[in-house]
Amino acid sequence: MRERQFDGFQRIGRIQLHTFICAGVITFFLFCGACSQTSPPSADGRNAGDANAAIDSLNARISQAYRDHDPSAYAKLFTDTTVFEWPAINTVRGRPAIEQMVRSGWAPLKDMDLKLIVSSRRLAPNHATEFGAFEQSWTDSAGARMTEFGRYVTLLARGDSAWLIDRFFGAEDSVRSAPKRP
């Protein structure tokens, strides 16, 4: 009789262990689902992941316009009513003025590159704000390689087919020259 009671307790213990393991596995999957990176859809059915990917693509096109030395491509990344502010120059308003500014500003610079380091981004259904740092490098007319370090804030507007820069404010932290390469 004692053996039977012992077997019964073992059976109850196995059932409890099995229940405990199942509950743990279910809890684990619920926790993983709750912590997933999928962004909830916004009011217009788009999600933050899509917006972030589109804005990252915009940033890549900005850098590409620098590398290609293409003022027209750069200006197309701004809204028609854009405002561009930089302490060293007068405020620039509108896409045509952006294109003229970079056409004259980039003319003496060679081998330009731009690296954007996004520190944070705030998203809303039709606009976003991005804060970050940049490293702009170029070869000047004397052949010296220069790198400008600075900070920026952009207010982005969601257009019909893409995100565009509506407001830009940037400021230089420092400029360094690199030794000439042989």
- Angle at 143 (CA atoms; ends 139, 145), nearest 5 degrees: 40
Q: What percent of the chain has pLDDT over 70?
A: 72
What distance in Å separates the CA atoms of residue 40 and residue 44, rounded to the nearest whole number? 11
pLDDT at 67: 94
Choose the most confident range, by mean pLDDT, from 16-30, 131-145, 167-181.
131-145
Residue 143: left (phi > 0), alpha (psi -120 to 50), or beta?
Answer: left
pLDDT at 49: 77
> For 92, what's the count of Cα atoms within 13 Å in the CB-facing half-sphere?
23
The stretch 82-88 carries a mean pLDDT of 92
Which phi and psi (to 5°) does residue 101 adopt? -60, -50
pTM (two decimals) = 0.70
Lowest-confidence segment of 40-44, 48-52, 81-85, 101-105 by average pLDDT: 40-44
pLDDT at 66: 92
Question: Shortest CA distance to 125 belongs to which of 7, 43, 10?
Answer: 43
Average pLDDT, the chain: 81
The stretch 41-66 carries a mean pLDDT of 80
What distance in Å separates the CA atoms of residue 12 and residue 15, rounded to the nearest whole number? 5
Q: Specify the higher pLDDT residue, 63 or 40.
A: 63
What distance in Å separates the CA atoms of residue 150 and residue 117, rounded to the nearest whole number? 10
- Residue 177's pLDDT band, with cuts at 50, 70 and 90, is confident
Amino acid present at 169? F
Which tens digit of pLDDT belongs to each residue from 143-160? 889 999 999 999 999 987
Cβ density class 101-138: b for 16+ within 10 Å, e for less:
bbeeebeebeebebebebeebebeeeebebebebebbb
Lowest-confidence segment of 72-81, 133-142, 161-170, 171-180 by average pLDDT: 171-180
Cβ density class 19-35: b for 16+ within 10 Å, e for less:
eeeeeeeeeeeeeeeee
- Residue 166's pLDDT band, with cuts at 50, 70 and 90, is very high
